[in-house]
Amino acid sequence: MLSERRLQVLRAIVQDYVGTEEPVGSKALTERHNLGVSPATVRNDMAALEDEGYIAQPHTSAGRIPTDKGYRLFVDKLAGVKPMTAPERRAIQNFLEGAVDLDDVVARTVRLLAQLTRQVAVVQYPSLTRSTVRHVELLSLAPARVMLVLITDTGRVEQRMVDCPAPFGEASLADLRARLNSRVAGRRFADVPKLVEDLPDAFDPEDRGTVSTVLSTLLETLVEENEERLMIGGTANLTRFGHDFPLTIRPVLEALEEQVVLLKLLGEAKDPGVTVRIGHENAHEGLNSTSVVSVGYGSGGEAVAKLGVVGPTRMDYPGTMGAVRAVARYVGQILAES
Amino acid sequence: MLSERRLQVLRAIVQDYVGTEEPVGSKALTERHNLGVSPATVRNDMAALEDEGYIAQPHTSAGRIPTDKGYRLFVDKLAGVKPMTAPERRAIQNFLEGAVDLDDVVARTVRLLAQLTRQVAVVQYPSLTRSTVRHVELLSLAPARVMLVLITDTGRVEQRMVDCPAPFGEASLADLRARLNSRVAGRRFADVPKLVEDLPDAFDPEDRGTVSTVLSTLLETLVEENEERLMIGGTANLTRFGHDFPLTIRPVLEALEEQVVLLKLLGEAKDPGVTVRIGHENAHEGLNSTSVVSVGYGSGGEAVAKLGVVGPTRMDYPGTMGAVRAVARYVGQILAES
DNA sequence: CTTTGGCACTCTTCCCGTGCGAGTGCCAGC
DNA sequence: GCTGGCACTCGCACGGGAAGAGTGCCAAAG
C-alpha cells in the first residue's frame, strides 16, 4: 500500500508529464508542487513507485514518466472528472442545437469532441439494436421486387431490396404494410422477431413465400450489426502526438480506418459511466500507446450508442473525461427532443 | 522550346525522383538511363531546365528535383496513363462485385483505391443532382407530420420530416403520393421542379398549403448540394509522405477533414478524363505540396460523381492515373448493374 | 524510521570542428 | 554541340568535449 504522499507524488508526476511532455525529475517536482518535502525524499518515493511499476525512466539518469499502470491508478483514485464550465456547456449546447438531422448531429458531435479535447473523436451512430421501430414502409418497384424501408425512432433510415419468389399485388402489399406496422411500430428491435412470427399465416398461400421473404429481410436488417457505422474526426490532432512521428502515428491511423476495430473498442466499454482504457488495456496493438475515453449516450435514460476520443496515454484525463461526459449528455438531450 | 533530349532528361529526373525520393544528380542520371550523352551534357540540359523553372535544387550543390511546373509538363507531355494489367483488373472487378449496397460500393472503392495507389483515396457518393428519381414515398407519422423519403436510381435514400401547416388525411396523402410519383418517377432531378409546379392546383384548397410545403421540401432535398457526402480512406499512407513529418502532414489531415474543401477540389476538375492538379494548382493551401488525381464516374455514360486520390506531388502519375481510371470504370459498371 | 543535504556518477544532449562525398559550374578542346 | 577535367561549394555524418539534468547512496539529523 502506498502512503498518501506517494500518491501525491504520482499525481504530480502525471500532471507535470501531461503538461510538459517531458520526463519529470525530483527537483522540478518539488519546485512546481509544494509537497513540503525535499527532492531527496521525493526521490525515495519515486524509487518506491518505480518498484511498484507505476512509473519508469526512459533511460538511466532521466526523469520519470508514468506507466500505463500509473495512469490507471491516477484515473481510478487520484483524479476526478473535471466538469465543464458554464460557458463551455452553453457552447456545447448551442453548437449541437443547430443540427438539422441525424447525420448532422453526429457530424457536429464529432467536430465538437475533437475540438474540445484536441484529440481524435469517434462517434457511433445510434445503434439499431436498442432502438425502436417508427415505421416500416414497403414499396413495389416491379411486380416481384419490393423495397423495404425501415425508419427508426432515432431518425435513421435503412433500405433493402427484396426479390420476391412470386409476383405480389399492390393490395397484398398494402395489407402487409398495414399489418406489419400495427405490430411493430413503436416496438424495440429485439422484440420484433416474435411479433411477426405468425404473420405469414394471415395471407393467401401463394403470397406466403413473399411475405416470409420480406420478413426475413426485415429481421436481417434489424440484427445486422456490421451496419453499425461511425464517424471519426480530428485526426489532424494526431500530429501533436509525439516527436517520433511516423512510427507512432501510422498504426493509429490504420486502426482508425478499421471500423470493426473501433466498434469493438467502443463495445468493450461496459461501464455505465465514462470508461477509460489505457495503453495496453486496448486489445488492438496499434493502439497500445493510446488511451480511449468513451461513454454511452442515448435519447432516453438508456444508451443507444457510444462516443469517445482516442488520444495518447499522456492525456489530460480529467478534462477529457469531463468533455466526453458533457458532450454525451447534450447529444442525448438533442436526440430526445427530435 | 525544349529539345527532345531535354524533355527526356526531365522525364528521367521525374522518374528517378519519384523512385528514390532523393534529389537526382547528373551522374546518377546517365548511369540509370542510357541517354547516350555524358554527365556534362546532362548538366547543361539541367541548367537550361532550371532556367525555365521545370526543376530546382534544394541547396546549391545538391541534385535537382522537379518543380510543380516540371511535374505538369511531365504529366501533360511526357507520360501516358499506365494501364492496369489484366490480373489487376480482374482483382478490381472481383473486389467491387462483392458489394451489397451503395454504402458498401463506396466503402470498397475507397479501400481499393487506397490500396492500389498507396495513397489517400476520396470517393464522392453518387451525386443527387444528376440522378433520376426512382420513387418518392410519403408517410404520415402524425396528423400534421409527414416523412418524405426520396429514393434515387443509384439506390440512395434521403429522408426529411415535413411539418404541415394543416392536418392532412391519409386519403389526400395517398393521392399526393400517386400523383407525385406518376410525374417524377424516372425523371432527372433537374426536371422535377417544372413537373410538379402545378401540382397543388389539383388539391382541395385546405390541402394546398400542405402540398406546397411537401413539394418545397422535396425540391430542397433535390438541390441540397451540401448533402453531397464523401468517404475517404488510406490516411495511414500519409505517413509515407516525407521525412519532415508534422509540418507536411498536418495541413493535409486538416484539409481532408473539411468535406467542403474536398468537394470543391473534386468539383473543380471539369475534364472528362482523368484530371491532375499539382501542388500549388490546388486552391487550398494545405494541399500545396500534394497532387490530386481525380476522375468522374457514373452508372451510364454520364458522370454522377467523382473519385480520386490525394498524394505527394512526388507520386507515380502514370500508375496513379491508371488506377484511378480503372477503378472509376469498374465502379461505373457495378452501379449500372444494380 | 523518516527526512535531509551532500556527493559522486551516469547518461543524454548540444555544440563545434573536421573530413568526406556528391554534385555543380565553367572552360578548354574535340 | 558534346565531352572530359577541374576547382569549388555545400550538406552531412562523425567524434570529442563540455554542460546539465537527474539519479542512487550514504551518513547525519529529527
> What secondary structure, in 3-state letters, does B308-336 show?
EEEEECCCCHHHHHHHHHHHHHHHHHHHH
Of A184, A254, A265, nearest to A228 (Cα)? A265
CA of A45, C1' of C9: distance in angstroms: 21
Using the Cβ of A181 and the Cβ atoms of chain B, whether some distance falls under 8 Å is answered with no
**CA distance to partner chain A, nearest, from residue B308 (Å):** 18
Cell of B263: 468537394
CA of B139, C1' of C12: distance in angstroms: 71
Of A190, A141, A4, nearest to B157 (Cα)? A141
Given this model, what pLDDT does residue B13 score? 95
Protein residue closest via CA to C1' of D2: B41
The residues facing A277 across adjacent strands are: A292
E strand or H helix that includes residue A286 = none
DSSP 8-state symbol, A132 = B
The B residues from 225 to 264 touching A (CB cutoff 8 Å) are 233-236, 238-239, 245-246, 249-250, 253-254, 256-257
C-alpha span between B330 and B57 (Å, rounded)? 41
Give the model's confidence band at A255: pLDDT under 50 very low, under 70 low, under 90 confident, else very high.
very high
Tell whether the torsion through CA atoms of A25, A31, A35 and A37 is positive or negative.
positive
For residue A282, pLDDT over 50 is answered with yes
Of B287, B110, B285, B143, nearest to A259 (Cα)? B110
Given this model, what pLDDT does residue B158 score? 79
Given this model, what pLDDT does residue B271 score? 79
Residue of B150, B162, B163, B245 for testing the chain A interface, max A β-carbons within 10 Å? B245
pLDDT in tens, chain B (338 residues): 678 889 999 999 999 999 988 999 998 899 888 888 889 999 999 999 999 999 999 888 888 999 999 999 999 999 899 999 999 999 999 999 988 777 889 999 999 999 999 999 999 988 766 678 888 888 887 788 888 888 877 777 777 888 888 888 888 888 999 999 899 988 888 788 888 888 889 898 888 989 999 999 888 887 664 457 889 999 999 988 766 666 778 899 999 998 888 888 888 877 788 999 999 999 898 899 999 999 999 876 666 789 999 999 999 999 999 999 999 999 998 887 76
Within 13 A of B94's CA, how many CA atoms are on the CB side?
6
Tens digits of per-residue pLDDT, B297-317?
987 666 678 999 999 999 999
Residue B68 CA to its chain's centroid (Å): 21
Tens digits of per-residue pLDDT, B240-282?
876 666 677 889 999 999 888 888 888 887 778 899 999 999 9
Judge: B235–A253 Cβ closer than 8 Å, yes or no: yes
CA of B59, C1' of C19: distance in angstroms: 20
**CB-closest option in A135, A157, A235 to B235:** A235
Cell of B172: 389526400
For residue A242, pLDDT over 70 is answered with no
Residue of A132, A136, A141, A147 for testing the chain B interface, max B β-carbons within 10 Å? A147
* Dihedral, B277, B281, B284, B288 alpha carbons, nearest 10: 90
Of A320, A226, A230, A330, nearest to A275 (Cα)? A320
User: Which of A234-243, A294-303, B250-259 is predicted least confidently?
Assistant: A294-303
C-alpha span between A304 and B8 (Å, rounded)? 62
Give the model's confidence band at A225: pLDDT under 50 very low, under 70 low, under 90 confident, else very high.
very low
Chain A with chain B: Cβ pairs closer than 8 A: 67
Given this model, what pLDDT does residue A226 score? 42
CA of B153, C1' of C16: distance in angstroms: 71
Counting Cβ atoms within 10 Å, is residue B90 exposed (0-12), middle (13-18) or buried (19+)? exposed
Tell whether the torsion through CA atoms of B219, B221, B227 and B231 is positive or negative.
negative
Given this model, what pLDDT does residue A202 score? 87
Task: Write down which residues 52-71 in A have CB closer than 7 A to strand C.
Answer: 59-62
Mean of pLDDT values over A107-131? 89
Residue A279: count of CB within 10 angstroms of its CB: 19
Those residues whose beta carbons lie under 7 A from strand D are A 23-28, 39-40, 43, 46-47, 50, 57, 60-64; B 5, 36-38, 40-41, 44, 59-62
In the sheet where A120-124 sits, what is the strand order? A230-233, A120-124, A305-312, A290-297, A275-278
- Per residue in A226-242, is it b (16+ CB within 10 Å) or e — as a string? ebbbbbbbbbbbbbebe
User: What are the CB-based long-range contacts (under 8 Å, 24+) for A88-94?
Assistant: A88/A116, A88/A326, A89/A326, A89/A330, A92/A116, A92/A326, A92/A327, A92/A330, A93/A330, A93/A333
Top pLDDT among B243 and A212 is at A212
Average pLDDT value for chain A? 88
Please state, in angstroms and as integers, the Cα–Cα distance from residue A202 to each residue in A84, A176, B168, following that order. 56, 9, 31
Given this model, what pLDDT does residue A271 score? 79
